[in-house]
Structure 1
Amino acid sequence: MSMGRTGDRTADVVIRRLSVFRKISPQTAAALDDAIRGRITTAVAGQELVTEGDPADRLRMILSGWAARYKSLEDGRRQIVNLVLPGETCDAQIYLLKHMDHSISALTPVVYAEIERERFEALIAADRVLAEAFWCETLSDAAIQREWTLNLGRRDAYERVAHLLCEVVERLRPVGLLDGDSCAFPITQTDLADATGLSVVHVNRTLQELRSAGLIVLRERTLTVHDLKALKDAALFTPDYLHYQALS
């Protein structure tokens, strides 16, 4: 299925995401919305938004759906190095590089905006607060990457999976995608394995342990966490590395 164009989406979810870093004015929101309109693209699950080695000449903002940044070996083994959730930007300053050093693939059907370098630079040059918000998002992404490295290097399987679940909840919260103590969790156990450096069998066993402990319910692509504090304690999770509260 080829990518299509749509014109009925707005930047609302992106504004909510950026607002955890800097206060976005109505005028700024309108300018960003105008920059996005007419540049909206869709991708089906499994389709690549951009591939390692492609020119890094534009940035992408996820308006709905889940994507993943990943690296892979020549034999096809894949490591997901971060998730890209609704409202998030795929590297706001990526165009400063010549080519992509990783790939981004849709894990679910995705709606996203593509903005060329010239238009984005004009947008942030006209608004210092918006420029700072995008830089803060980039710094938050780098901090997330460091935390994922810690996950792979030092947390055990139980802590790794629990930590990823906690992080997803905290990243979905500011964009309004929590429904009480539940949220969409549309990725597969294979995706979870590729994100946590575990086998699918080990992921399945770990999810069963988290269920048995009463910490999570995973049913029909929905995650429910009745006691988030207990899950955070099990994961050794603190949200400080996201830098939301410090920059609000």
Structure 2
Amino acid sequence: MPNLLARKLQRYVRLSDGDQIWLSEIVGSVRQIAARTDLIHEGDDPRTINVILEGWACRYRQLVDGRRQIVGLLLPGDPCDPHVFLLDRMDHTLGAITPVSLGQISGAALQAITARSPGLDIAFHREALATAAVQREWTVSLGCRTGIERLAHLFCELHARLAAIGLTDGNTCPMPITQSDLGDAMGQTSVHINRTLQEMRSMGLITLRSRRLTIHDPEALARLGQFDPAYLHLTVDDDRPVLGRP
């Protein structure tokens, strides 16, 4: 399995061979988590940093009446907040959307390698800052964008994040989330999401089939969602294209 955590951090700062070896060594035992199972609950003691090695997960809050708001999507290679071990309790829940291979890094191990490597220290801090930037952009979507603009922006974002770690095939990428998940992330009902997807298909923008998304007109989709990938802070470039970037 490629070290997708290292591949992602490489997009923030160039890592040495030694940095990449240290990253592979600090990830502890790997757990297999079934789809629709919580990885850690709100209120738990977050003693370790969870890393998504394979599969998709989400951050969410749930009200007492059962209503759920997804506040973030976690993709392969994502550390679920590299500084969470500094807190006394989780303020949200992490849930698996698909089957997930989950690695864990102890807080002590992370502190040790970031003390030894300035590159890794910068990379993990940039990861935390980029995650906060994504959260701000989601807030803008919920507050300002229309329903179809929100979904267009989200599809562009997910494609860009997957492209950064080499998990796209041209304009096609995995999209294993359900319409209910999309509704919980976009603040809409699954019925509204279904209508929006039909509208995007009729406009010739996308095809969503067999848990894969194909973007037929990347420039038009980016314009519709007013998507600018700058907030992802993927500043170390490579030859993989990112939607919305010249």
Which TM-score band (shorter chain)? Answer: over 0.9
Cα deviation 1:11-35 (Å, max 9, x = unaligned): x111110011010111110111011
Cα RMSD after superposing both structures: 1.3
Please name the residue that 1:16 is paired with: 7
2:81 equivalent to 1:94? no
Give, in whole Å, the separation in 1 of the partners of 2:142 and 2:204: 24
| Identity among equivalent pairs (%) | 45
SS in structure 2 of the partner of residue 74 of structure 1: coil
Given candidates 236, 240, 244, the residue that maps to 2:226 is 236
SS in structure 2 of the partner of residue 24 of structure 1: coil
2:118 equivalent to 1:125? no
> Structure 1 residue 125: deviation in Å?
1.2
> Aligned AA for 1:15?
A
Given candidates 138, 150, 162, the residue that maps to 2:152 is 162
SS in structure 1 of the partner of residue 224 of structure 2: helix
Indicate conservation of the 8 Å contact 2:59/2:72, yes or no: yes
Give, in whole Å, the separation in 2 of the partners of 1:95 and 1:159: 35
SS in structure 2 of the partner of residue 95 of structure 1: helix
2:19 equivalent to 1:28? yes
2:52 equivalent to 1:62? yes
TM alignment of 1:36-115, pairs within 5 A: 36=27, 38-115=28-105
Give, in whole Å, the separation in 2 of the partners of 1:140 and 1:236: 19
Please name the residue that 1:203 is paired with: 193
Please name the residue that 1:136 is paired with: 126
Please name the residue that 2:241 is paired with: none
SS in structure 1 of the partner of residue 35 of structure 2: coil
TM-score where L is the length of structure 2: 0.94
> Aligned AA for 2:78?
E
SS in structure 2 of the partner of residue 115 of structure 1: strand
Give, in whole Å, the separation in 2 of the partners of 1:132 and 1:42: 30
> Aligned AA for 2:208?
L
> Aligned AA for 2:10?
S
Indicate conservation of the 8 Å contact 2:4/2:53, yes or no: yes
Indicate conservation of the 8 Å contact 1:22/1:247, yes or no: no
Give the 3 Å change call, closer, same or farther, for CA 121–44 of structure 1 in structure 2.
same
SS in structure 2 of the partner of residue 68 of structure 1: strand
Please name the residue that 2:243 is paired with: none
SS in structure 2 of the partner of residue 92 of structure 1: coil
> Structure 1 residue 245: deviation in Å?
2.4
Runs of 4 or more off by more than 2 Å in structure 1? 245-248
Q: For structure 2, which runs of at least 5 residues remain unmatched after alignment?
A: 239-246
Indicate conservation of the 8 Å contact 1:71/1:81, yes or no: yes
Give, in whole Å, the separation in 2 of the partners of 1:61 and 1:232: 29
Q: For structure 1, which runs of at least 5 residues remain unmatched after alignment?
A: 1-8
> Aligned AA for 2:127?
E
SS in structure 2 of the partner of residue 245 of structure 1: coil
> Aligned AA for 2:25?
D
Cα deviation 1:143-179 (Å, max 9, x = unaligned): 0000000110110000001111000001001110001
TM-score where L is the length of structure 1: 0.93
Indicate conservation of the 8 Å contact 1:53/1:100, yes or no: yes
Please name the residue that 2:242 is paired with: none
Indicate conservation of the 8 Å contact 1:21/1:247, yes or no: no
Give, in whole Å, the separation in 2 of the partners of 1:210 and 1:224: 12
